[in-house]
Amino acid sequence: MDERLVIAASAQEAAKLAASGAGYLAGGTELNRLGSKLHYEKLVSIRRIAELAKVEAKGDEVRIGAAVTFQDALQSELVPAYLKEALLFMGSRTKRNMATVGGNVACWRDDSYLAATLLAVGASVELMNETGATRRLGLEEWAATQPEHRLVCRLIVPAKPGRVVSKRYANTMESLSYLVVSLCQDGDAARVALTVKGVGAFVSPELSEAAARGAGEDELVELAYGLDVAVPSDMYGSERYKRYLAGVTLARMLEDGGRDGAR
Ligand SMILES: Cc1cc2nc3c(=O)[nH]c(=O)nc-3n(C[C@H](O)[C@H](O)[C@H](O)COP(=O)(O)OP(=O)(O)OC[C@H]3O[C@@H](n4cnc5c(N)ncnc54)[C@H](O)[C@@H]3O)c2cc1C
């Protein structure tokens, strides 16, 4: 049960207050969700911290403050279109008005709206420790370690990483997703990331390499069947169906890219 709420005035204060094990209250949509497993004795609110609520362009990157809501990010001219596609996976406008990008990354759910897209483009996070020191970490590395109680200050994404497409599968717009496929193509390079319910989000080197070669549907489906992850069979479909869907989806994304390029 969440017992105490402290409102932080700065990122450093928040990081310091939470160092002993408190949680951060951002949009509260996961913390207050019925059935959420996240419970803290103390919560540090980061909603009023102006420095965490900015979107800035710097060089060829866009830096999105952790407390920026999904809706504010959608309305920002600086946020790239490929990320807006993923932000819209959160179908409820009411929820988009509250939920933050930092909260979404921090939760790192196995049906995450943003994870596959962020991994595909090689996004990074800026973290702050209790002394106020910041460091930047590639999201893949962050996901592997998820340093506890570290404040995520910013999400850093490339402004123009190439062609990025993401597709989310769920029973309805409002339902939890069982598969997200994201492809980032830049010249001869490609990076494919998947989010699979029951598994989580990950980059697939096999599918990335095949996508870079422009492999066809049969090969992509075979590779998806062979991915070394424990895809569950559940109410959303069998393991085989989900693997097939991942391969076919990627094949369609590559075909669409070929068609667009030929126009
Ligand atoms: C009905 C319903 C369905 C949902 N479906 C999905 C779904 O399909 N996919 C999905 O991804 N999410 C889903 N969510 C969860 C949630 O809406 C999103 O993940 C949202 O982006 C979380 O952001 P928040 O700001 O509300 O986080 P909060 O609820 O405020 O915080 C969540 C967690 O993140 C930590 N945190 C927050 N901000 C930071 C920060 N800056 N640094 C470090 N840690 C931080 C908190 O300590 C806490 O542990 C759903 C929620 C509801 C209510």
Range 163-262 has CATH code 3.40.50.280: no
Confidence band for 262, pLDDT divided at 50, 70 and 90: low
β pairing state of 61-65 and 189-196: unpaired
Distance 259 CA to ligand 1 centre (A): 37
Give, using CA atoms, the residue closest to atom 16 of ligand 1: 30
Backbone angles phi, psi at 253, to 5 degrees: -60, -40
For a ligand 1 pocket test, name from 12, 36, 95, 107 the mutation site with the most ligand atoms within 8 angstroms of its C-beta. Answer: 107
pLDDT digits (tens, 9 = 90+) for 3-44: 699 999 999 999 999 988 899 999 999 999 988 888 999 999
214 torsion bin: left (phi>0), alpha (psi -120 to 50), beta (else): left
Domain boundaries, the chain: 163-262
CA angle (80 as vertex; 98, 117 as ends), nearest 5: 75
Distance, in Å, from the CA atom of 246 to the CA atom of 237, rounded to the nearest integer, reads: 13
Confidence band for 45, pLDDT divided at 50, 70 and 90: very high
Integer CA distances (angstroms), 236 to 72, 212, 260, in order: 32, 30, 32
pLDDT digits (tens, 9 = 90+) for 178-205: 999 999 999 999 999 999 999 999 999 9
Atom of ligand 1 nearest to the CA of 67: 41
| Lowest-confidence region among 18-22, 160-164, 186-190, 218-222 | 18-22
Distance 183 CA to ligand 1 centre (A): 24
Share of the chain above pLDDT 70, in %: 97
Average pLDDT score over residue span 250-258:
93
Distance 16 CA to ligand 1 centre (A): 21
Strand ranges of the sheet holding 200-203, from the earlier edge strand across to the other edge: 163-170, 177-186, 189-196, 200-203
Tell me the ipTM for this assembly. 0.99
Integer CA distances (angstroms), 251 to 78, 99, 213, in order: 30, 32, 12
Distance, in Å, from the CA atom of 216 to the CA atom of 199, rounded to the nearest integer, reads: 25
Confidence band for 263, pLDDT divided at 50, 70 and 90: low
Average pLDDT score over residue span 79-97:
97
- Cα 157 vs. chain centroid, distance in angstroms? 11
First to last CA, the chain: 57
For a ligand 1 pocket test, name from 12, 30, 83, 175 the mutation site with the most ligand atoms within 8 angstroms of its C-beta. Answer: 30
Atom of ligand 1 nearest to the CA of 109: 11
Give, using CA atoms, the residue closest to atom 17 of ligand 1: 29
